[in-house]
A and B are shown apart, each in its own frame.
Chain A
Amino acid sequence: AETLKSKPGPFSTDETPTSFMDVTNYNNFYEFGSGKSDPASNSGDFRPEPWTLEVGGLVAKPKTFDLDELRGFDLEDRLYRMRCVEAWSMVIPWIGFPLSALLDQVEPLGSAKYVAFETVVRPEEMGGQRGLFQPLPWPYVEGLRLDEARHPLAILAVGLYGQTLPNQNGAPVRLVVPWKYGFKGIKSIVKMTLVEEQPVSSWERLQPSEYGFYANVNPAVDHPRWSQATEIRIGEGGFLSPGRRETLPFNGYAEQVASIYDGMDLAANY
């Protein structure tokens, strides 16, 4: 990993960052396997450089960004909470830039209502995309409403802990939307398409009763198989008394984002 230059950004929490060891060794990245340590163990063959991110669809100026261009945005530090749908959480020092800054360059048309995202498919480098048991259909896809994508909290991350993203964390560019469950943060993005209709996301397609399109962190709406009321903060309290805390609506970012869902039934649109 190379060092990345960044300046302090807004919205950073004052909570203690989760250790680099935990952030880079406890991951969900099914392209490298479905075990938590699989991404760290099995992503060594992945080549995130060179890379291109193609942005198209309902835009005035479609554009393909290379890595220098992506890292050429004004990079900011964003120390965000990350709440996984599996009821654990971390605090991660991301380096990235607002997704809106990239959208501004491609100029979405008035008809564009959503952004659809796509992860790279490279079975030869990603073991989870090969073989008999493949947990999800590839490519991994995600989506945001355009106002969510333009929200200043939503960033494209190109690094963490002062350096470029490790492979297991979604190198070289990934989405971070801290008020949503972690699976919305699609990794190793190769394509973004501005569309009119609500795109389907991978987990929603696999099990719609368990994972919705919005996936906003919500302690009041249980996952059918576990409660979302509390979460274990990774690395806190130790093995014999792990730090379990209350989960906050919108993962504690309600002040910033709750208003964009005014009038929406968040239990029905989970």
Chain B
Amino acid sequence: MIASRVWRSASVWLVYVVGFVPAAWYFYLGATGQIPGNAVKVFEHLLGVWALRFLLVTLAVTPIRDLFGINLIRYRRALGLLAFWYVVMHFSTYMILDQALNFQVIVNDIAKRPFITIGMASFALLIPLAITSNSWSIRKLGSRWNSLHKLSYVIILGGALHYLMAVRVITPEPAIYMAIAAVLVGYRLFFRSRVLAWRKQRRAVAMAR
């Protein structure tokens, strides 16, 4: 009993540790000259892709519980915060390593280039979610917390669109991220209430027997 509780809280920390492995690994490869070509761009891109992956997994927690009965809710905060930190690293790499803190260029990019504007807006929306990801905020905000965190659906669509618009040609990878994001948001908007109603009905029928 105690062992399983220890494992539960330890496994959350394990998610954080494992989650930061890609960033650490690619940083190591870059710093030791093992990423050929434009190492900074490659690193920047990988951080962005991992941010999207963590966002998608975060948003998949609810449908996985609804549809398959697998409850991963205790990992959701860690997954969401990992996404946030990857976005922070992605943006920092762009600002510091790629553009060498040339703020004129950075501000110009954000204002003038739609894919960067969209990426930046998604990042900005992610900040209040990260700040309110602690238990105190959840208690304090009550049902408003749920409303606020629905922003994650706007953020994932913005993030996937940012990727799709950044590439020179549409390849399977950004298209697949966009498709998964659309499915997750579509589930939330159109199908979840029906799935829950159907499950409730099934439970009621089972009880009546």
Q: Mark B20-63, 1 if CB is under 8 A from A, else 0.
A: 00000000001101011111111100000000000000000000
A36 contacts B40, C-beta separation under 8 Å:
no
A136 at interface by CB-CB < 8 Å: yes
- B163 adjacent to chain A (CB < 8 Å): no
Closest to B105 in A: A227
Q: Which residue of B lies closest to A206 (CB)?
A: B169
A-B contact count (CB 8 A): 70
A232 near B38 with CB under 8 A, answer yes
Partner of B31, one of A30, A135, A240: A240
Q: Say yes or no: B36 contacts A242, CB within 8 Å.
A: no
Are A232 and B41 touching (Cβ within 8 A)?
Answer: yes
Tally of chain A residues near chain B (CB < 8 A): 29
* Contact residues in B for A37 (Cβ distance below 8 Å): 36-37
Residue A34 CB within 8 A of the other chain: yes
Give chain A's interface secondary structure class: loop
- Residues of chain A within 8 A of B100, CB atoms compared: 241, 244
Q: Is A253 an interface residue (CB 8 A)?
A: no
How far is the CB of A187 from the nearest CB of chain B, in Å?
Answer: 16
Specify the main secondary structure of chain B where it touches its partner: helix
CB distance from B107 to the nearest CB of A (A): 12
**What CA separation (Å) do A129 and B38 show in the bound complex?**
25
Known: A26-B38, A225-B115, A232-B38. A238 touches B169 (CB 8 A): no
Residues of B contacting A240 in the complex (Cβ-Cβ under 8 angstroms): 31, 97
Partner of B36, one of A25, A133, A226, A230: A25
Q: Is the CB of A135 within 8 A of B171?
A: yes
Most chain A CB atoms below 10 A, which of B33, B40, B113, B168:
B168
Instruction: Given the known inter-chain contacts A232-B41, A244-B100, please indicate yes or no for A239 contacting B169, CB distance below 8 A.
Output: no
Cβ of B89 within 8 Å of any chain A Cβ, yes or no, is no
When the two chains form the complex, which single residue of B33, B43, B108, B115 contacts A238, counting CB atoms closer than 8 Å?
A: B33
- State the A residues within 8 Å of B (CB): 21-22, 25-26, 30, 34, 36-37, 86, 88, 132-133, 135-136, 206, 224-227, 229-230, 232, 234, 238-242, 244
Instruction: Known pairs A132-B172, A226-B109; list 15 more (Cβ under 8 Å).
Output: A22-B37, A25-B36, A34-B171, A36-B42, A88-B38, A135-B169, A225-B113, A225-B166, A227-B109, A232-B98, A234-B38, A239-B31, A239-B40, A242-B38, A242-B97
27 contacts between A and B (CB under 8 A): A25-B36, A26-B38, A30-B169, A34-B171, A36-B37, A37-B36, A133-B172, A135-B169, A224-B113, A225-B113, A225-B115, A225-B165, A226-B113, A227-B105, A227-B109, A230-B105, A232-B38, A232-B40, A232-B98, A238-B33, A240-B97, A241-B97, A242-B38, A242-B39, A242-B97, A242-B98, A244-B99
